[in-house]
Amino acid sequence: MYNFKLLQETYQAYSTNKNNNPAAQEYDRKRTRFLESLSYEVIRFENKLVFKHLASVLHEIVSNFKSEPSD
């Protein structure tokens, strides 16, 4: 049995109004720390990277999976 705990998130560039907000950035850091405390690995990709370089994004996601099953 495999036990993958990987979360992938897409986001707009930090130059946009929503993400150019220190409070929003701190919220993201806290959320990441919380998810990591539950043994999740969080990886993020900027929206335009997903649309322009999907193959690279998928390769990065696949490379984060462990090759060995958990007990």
Domain map (residue ranges) of the chain: 8-63
By the 10 Å C-beta count (0-12 exposed, 13-18 middle, 19+ buried), 41 is classed as middle
Model pLDDT, residue 34: 94
Torsion, Cα of 18, 22, 26, 32 (10° steps): 50
Q: Which residue is associated with the tokens 């990886």?
A: 43
pTM value > 0.85:
no
Model pLDDT, residue 8: 84
Average pLDDT for runs of 10 along the chain of length 71: 76 61 85 92 89 93 70 50
Model pLDDT, residue 66: 60
Model pLDDT, residue 19: 55
